[in-house]
Amino acid sequence: MRVILLGSGERPGVLEGAERLRPEIARHAQIVASDFTGQQDLSAVEADLAIVLGGDGSILRAAHQMGACQRPVLAVNLGRLGFLADLAPEELPAVLEDIAATGLAGRVVEHLMFDCRVMRGQKVLAEQLGLNEVAVQTGPSFAMIDLDLYIDSELVTTYSCDGLILSTPVGSTAHGLSAGGPILRKDLQAFVISPISPHTLTNRPVVDSADRVYELVIAKAGSGAAVVVDGRVACAVVPQDRVRVKKAAVRFKMVAVPGHSYYRTLREKLGWGGRLQLGNGGC
């Protein structure tokens, strides 16, 4: 089995963890490439599996590096929260041994990715593949931004807000969650539209099919407005610029590990402790 070893080398403990785990990985697989800088183009590397060490940010970076040639990702959590990277380092040897013995068939779960294109007239300002979300946000002078939302070329509404987030199910537990958006099961084929601090209180998050084309037209914005894809600034925008988002042809692929279910992850990562326990004075 040919594997790529990836991680965010600038994060504390990642390089040390990689050195500690490398001999165990090499026992079960051939390491054909490794990159802890995020700079290497992985689209042409022949590999069966990408082992990502770190947190969810490392997974996002790996997905961007692989581009149109996505490989199954086995994520080992060396970060903090880790919605995607929920495999503990001590669990990796047994998982690798199992994969080496029986293969990846039936273990890989595919997730929605998107293509984002920013247009000014007929000119393409930016074009990116993403996994988590597209956000159109204000900047200095931090005035509200007005955004016209079109779905399949039909005007839906105009948002006056601090920004707008269009997220995938994978991204629903990221920026969109902090903006009050819903949590979607990761393998759903849908997008969530979540306004950030909308001026109209009746504006609420909307969930719609991933088979539609979403377009945000900048109706009014200050000088610092920008489009952000998966936490990275794609480009600055001005009034009349258009942000078009649609389902990508490629899918992000995660290796499912027995015992690490979706709802177990939510319980553990979000602190869903169940029933409130009251003391003797409770009523």
Q: Angle at Cα 114 formed by Cα 191 and Cα 58, nearest 5°? A: 105
Residues 183 and 79 in one domain: no
- What pLDDT is recorded for position 120? 97
Residues 83 and 183 in one domain: no
283 domain residue, yes or no: no
Task: Quickly count: other Cβ atoms within 10 Å of residue 237's Cβ.
Answer: 25
**CA pseudo-torsion sign 72, 105, 174, 189:** positive
278 domain residue, yes or no: no
- What pLDDT is recorded for position 250? 97
198 domain residue, yes or no: yes
Q: Give the active site residues.
A: 56
99-116, pLDDT tens digit by residue?
999 999 889 999 999 999
- What pLDDT is recorded for position 283? 42
58 domain residue, yes or no: yes
Residues 258 and 240 in one domain: no
Residues 127 and 187 in one domain: yes
Identify which of 47, 45, 34 has the alpha carbon closest to the alpha carbon of residue 8.
34
Assign residue 181 the CATH number of its domain: 2.60.200.30
- What pLDDT is recorded for position 22? 95
282 domain residue, yes or no: no
Residues 85 and 155 in one domain: no
Q: What is the mean pLDDT of the chain?
A: 91
What total of structural domains would you count in the chain? 2
Predicted TM-score of the model (pTM): 0.90
Residues 24 and 68 in one domain: yes
Residues 128 and 86 in one domain: no
Going across the sheet that includes 73-77, the strands are 30-35, 2-7, 49-54, 73-77, 252-255, 108-111
140 domain residue, yes or no: yes
Contact (CB, 8 A) for 66 and 43? yes
Residues 120 and 191 in one domain: yes
Structural domain range at position 149: 114-247
Residues 119 and 243 in one domain: yes
Q: Per-10-residue mean pLDDT for the chain, 283 residues long?
A: 93 91 94 93 92 91 93 88 80 93 91 98 97 94 92 96 96 91 94 94 92 97 94 96 98 90 79 59 45
Beta bridge partners of 62: none
Contact (CB, 8 A) for 225 and 193? no
Residues 95 and 146 in one domain: no
Q: Long-range contacts for 151-159 (Cβ within 8 Å, ≥24 apart)? A: 151/208, 151/212, 151/213, 151/214, 151/215, 152/212, 152/213, 153/213, 153/215, 156/206, 157/203, 158/219, 159/195, 159/198, 159/200, 159/203
- What pLDDT is recorded for position 274? 61
Distance CA 219, CA 231 (A): 23
- What pLDDT is recorded for position 78? 84
Assign residue 27 the CATH number of its domain: 3.40.50.10330
